[in-house]
Amino acid sequence: MKTSNIVQILVLACLLITGCTDNFEEINTNPNAPETVSANLLTATVTSEITRTLTQEGYSDGNSITQLMAKNNFPGFAQFDWGDQGMWNFFYGILPEIDDILQISRNEETQNSTYEGIALTLRALCFANLTDLYGNVPYSEALAGDIEGIFTPVYDSQEMIYNGVLQDLANADVALAANQSISGTTGDVIYDGDPAQWRKLANALRLRYLLRISKQRDVSQEMQAIASTGNYINTNADNATLTYSGTSNTDSWPQSTGRIGGFDEKSLCDTALEYFNTFNDPRLDIWFDRNSEGKWVGMPIGLNQDNARAFDDANSPSRLDVDLFYYSRTDAQAYIIKNSEVQFILAEAAERGIISGDAEAYYNAGVRASLSYWGVDDTTITTYLAQPAVSYNGSLELLLTQKTIALWNVDYQGWMNYRRTGLPALEPGPDTLNGAFYPVRFLYPSSEQTLNTANYQNAVNAMGGDNINVKGWWETGTRY
């Protein structure tokens, strides 16, 4: 008998039997395959994906745009040959999962203030990155597709988005202060669901973003309140990091799973070499290898393909440390924010008079935290800080140069600092495709022009164009 005939007979039988559909949903629900995903499984995905992706972006392009690293092959990014560049799809792809955690954390049956605080912190992190990278972006309607059927969301202003980001982080602080435990496996690869540590992360991010908008707004009261409580990332033990297990390609430092030829395409930038030589900096020997002649050689930023290959062949620039960044699957970590960045934030805020406190003490703590994280011993750090070129003298250029170095691999945060302060000064390379300008944003994805045309055009008109030289709201303030 044909399969189609069998199906027809069975369907007819069900229709004839009165009780065929009684308790249908109960009978046909598999208890081992729940329809909704639990908060811990979602948290495992989002904490891992966000931390790994941010660090990979920092390694691949963030270090290039701050001229800590240069590429001797496929160098178009440093020439500012930018098209659909950046992390638009990643963030808008993962935000619905974060929103699911938030909804689960607030449901009567599954309420948990720690998961709520985690979700609010991660939502703020994603939207802050989106607006920092692109300017005006979908925010208020960004997650309204499933419930409200809005699939062409409006773009909101950067100021409005920052108001929401800072409110989310303030709400996260309150939720995490409840210190509610999570039973069983948390799924959290950063702090294993520790609310006290997540609270420190939320407040560290608040400090980052408050300083970012400080050219536009008086943030002294809010920053001082956080600094006075001390409830923020304040030691390297507090760092928001992910340690790879090395058990699979997914759980390994990404560079360790690729080909050695791809790894060798990245070299020391001559701008960074100048910093390292000026400071007699031990991080040079940690992050890079000497060339075949035993020398440190940096590559100029922004060379085109032919010139980059020619320079590489003639000069053999120093490549990245192969043991740390290629052969080991676990030695290099992924991270969201570290203590060193927070200390430099406080140092700049103190130097500008935004908060009270000793700028030099914060600066020294930032330098010490960065060097210590990379394995430099205390005696060497003390000697390093005592050098005239390193010793703090009130110079914002010195402070922000040290901060830029400490932001190695931290997504695009060094670029954000440059855009806000102009320090340390960065110049385009000789083969730049952007004239005399150093870019300050990524272009909107081309898909937005076709799928969300009206709202895209409104955003472009509001910002003054869709090109890589259009400054955002927080960059154009005049408070300093």
Q: Which residue has the higher pLDDT, 129 or 22?
A: 129
Both structure tokens of 406: 């400490």
pTM above 0.85, yes or no: yes
* Interval 82-90 mean pLDDT: 91
Place of tokens 């790994």: 52
Q: Is the pLDDT of residue 60 over 70?
A: yes
Instruction: Assess contact for 52 and 254: CB atoms under 8 A.
Output: yes
**In this model, does residue 479 exceed pLDDT 50?**
yes
300-315 as b/e: b if 16+ CB within 10 A: bbbbbeebbeebbeeb
Residue 28 has pLDDT above 70, yes or no: no
Going by pLDDT thresholds of 50, 70 and 90, the confidence category of residue 146 is: confident
Which residues does 10 contact at the CB level (< 8 Å), separation at least 6? none
- For residues 53-61, average pLDDT: 97
**Please, what CATH class does the domain formed by 39-254+409-475 belong to?**
mainly alpha
pLDDT at 33 > cutoff 50: no
**Residue 180 pLDDT greater than 60, yes or no:** yes
pLDDT score of 77: 97
- Taking residues 367-376, report their average pLDDT: 98
What is the tens place of the pLDDT at every residue in 267-302? Answer: 999 999 999 999 999 999 999 999 999 999 999 999
For residue 46, what are its two tokens? 């989002």
- Count of C-beta atoms within a 10 Å radius of residue 253: 24
pLDDT category at 334 given cuts 50, 70, 90 is very high
**Which residue has tokens 């409006």?**
154
Determine the residue type at 368: R
H-run or E-run covering 414: helix 413-421
Residue 259, class by beta-carbon neighbours within 10 Å (0-12 exposed, 13-18 middle, 19+ buried)? exposed
pLDDT tens per residue across span 217-251? 999 999 999 999 999 999 999 999 999 999 999 99
Distance CA 315, CA 293 (A): 10
Instruction: Please provide the size of the chain in residues.
Output: 480
User: Given 3-state DSSP classes, what are the helix, strand and coil percentages for the chain, each rounded to the nearest 5?
Assistant: 55, 5, 40
The proportion of the chain whose per-residue pLDDT surpasses 70, expressed as a percent, equals 92
Per the CB < 8 A criterion, the answer to whether 117 and 182 are in contact is no
Say if residue 23's pLDDT is above 70.
no
Decide if pLDDT at 2 tops 70: no
Task: Answer yes or no: are the C-beta atoms of 48 and 243 closer than 8 Å.
Answer: no
Residue 86, pLDDT score: 83
Position 36 confidence tier, pLDDT thresholds 50, 70, 90: low
The contacts found for 97-105 with CB under 8 angstroms, 24 or more apart, are 97/42, 97/45, 97/46, 98/42, 98/46, 98/122, 98/123, 98/126, 99/123, 99/143, 100/37, 100/42, 101/39, 101/42, 101/43, 101/46, 104/36, 104/38, 104/39, 104/42, 105/39
In this predicted model, which residue has the larger pLDDT, 434 or 25? Answer: 434
Consecutive H or E run containing 340: helix 339-351
Q: Could you tell me if 317 and 185 are in contact, meaning their C-beta atoms sit under 8 angstroms apart?
A: no
Give the CA distances from residue 110 to residues 123, 236, 356, in Å, rounded to whole numbers and listed in that order. 19, 33, 42
pLDDT at 145: 82
Q: What is the pLDDT of residues 259-275, one digit of tens each?
A: 999 999 999 999 999 99
Q: pLDDT digits over 218-227, tens only? A: 999 999 999 9
| pLDDT-derived band at 85, boundaries 50, 70, 90 | confident
DSSP 325: I
**Per-residue model confidence (pLDDT) at position 37:** 83
pLDDT of residue 22 exceeding 60, the answer is: no
Evaluate if residue 108 carries a pLDDT over 60: yes
Contact call for residues 99 and 44 (beta carbons, < 8 A): no
Domain ranges of the chain: 39-254+409-475
pLDDT value of position 84: 87
Nearest residue to 439 (alpha-carbon basis) of 273, 301, 247, 286: 301
Is the pLDDT at 325 greater than 80? The verdict is yes
| pLDDT tens column, 401-453 | 999 999 999 999 999 999 999 999 999 999 999 999 999 999 999 999 999 99
Q: Can you tell me the mean pLDDT for 361-386?
A: 98
